[in-house]
Amino acid sequence: MQTPSLELKGSSFTLSVLHINNDDMAVIAAELDAKLAIAPQFFIGAPLVVNLSAIQTEDFDILGLKEILTSRHLIVVGITSASAALTKQAKSIGLAAVKSGKEAISQPQLPKTTKIVKQNVRSGQQIYAKNADLIIIGAVGNGAEVIADGSIHIYGTLRGKAMAGAAGDRNTVIMAQKIEAELVSIAGQYWLTENLQQNGAAPSGCIRLEGETLTVESLPL
């Protein structure tokens, strides 16, 4: 059988991405020259994808940008994260609009469930609620750990460690009838006992993330 004269195959390449944060061509050109001067050989003939996420102006001159890059021996293969108007403009001058791997393969969202534990969590025990909220009906002892990708609710005293939003969900909370915790953490931001005391932890409360810091507020009981 004759070998076909062309074949289409999928393959992935690593490309450098140039982030443009300014729409002033002169500034871009100057900063680019400064960067290239550090390692001129490295960039010659390098294929580039231009990230335009920071450019809001619709009449941004992509062709002009392409000329600046080409004149410095850089090869623009496409643009990414651009507004609709800029994407259209790029297509008209023969540039591809590409999506980065992270955007293209969006994480399939697993349905969130709830894990319920109807006993005290003793010292040395560890409970992890993967992709779920965690409800403990009982106390969490010193030296015990309760971890959840979602929120944690404790109907008892929290004396051990509680880590909510273990997979990075910043909108999770830790609620406990009584907080005497060794450590509380939400999406990686944590407080130790002393931080809790400094922040006047309420006898019963809800701990959540506000911006980059944890806050604790009492529950109306």
Partner 1 sequence: MAQIIVVTSGKGGVGKTTSSAAIATGLAMKGHKTVVIDFDIGLRNLDLIMGCERRVVYDFVNVINGEANLNQALIKDKRTPKLFVLPASQTRDKDALTKEGVGKVLEDLAKDFEYIICDSPAGIETGAMMALYFADVAIVTTNPEVSSVRDSDRILGMLQSKSKRAEDGLEPVKEYLLLTRYSPARVTTGEMLSVQDVEEILAIPLIGVIPESQAVLKASNSGVPVIIDQESDAGMAYSDAVERLLGEELPFRFLKEEKKGFLKRIFGS
Question: Pick from 51, 83, 125, 195: which binds partner 1 (CB under 8 A)?
Answer: 125
Count the neighbouring beta carbons within 10 Å of the beta carbon of residue 56.
10
Asked if 203 interacts with partner 1 (CB under 8 A), we say no
Question: Pick from 17, 117, 141, 190: which binds partner 1 (CB under 8 A)?
Answer: 141
Strand, helix or coil for residue 142: coil
Phi, psi of 15 (to 5 degrees): -120, 150
Count the neighbouring beta carbons within 10 Å of the beta carbon of residue 178.
16
Residue number, 169 or 182, with CB nearest to partner 1: 182
CB of 157 to partner 1, least distance (A): 8
Asked if 208 interacts with partner 1 (CB under 8 A), we say no
Phi, psi of 49 (to 5 degrees): -110, 135
Burial grade of 207 (CB within 10 A; 0-12, 13-18, 19 or more): buried
Token digits for 202? 């309420």
Question: Pick from 29, 91, 143, 202: which binds partner 1 (CB under 8 A)?
Answer: 143
User: Which 147-176 positions form the footprint of partner 1 (CB under 8 A)?
Assistant: 157, 159
Interface positions with partner 1 (CB under 8 A): 119-125, 138-139, 141-144, 157, 159
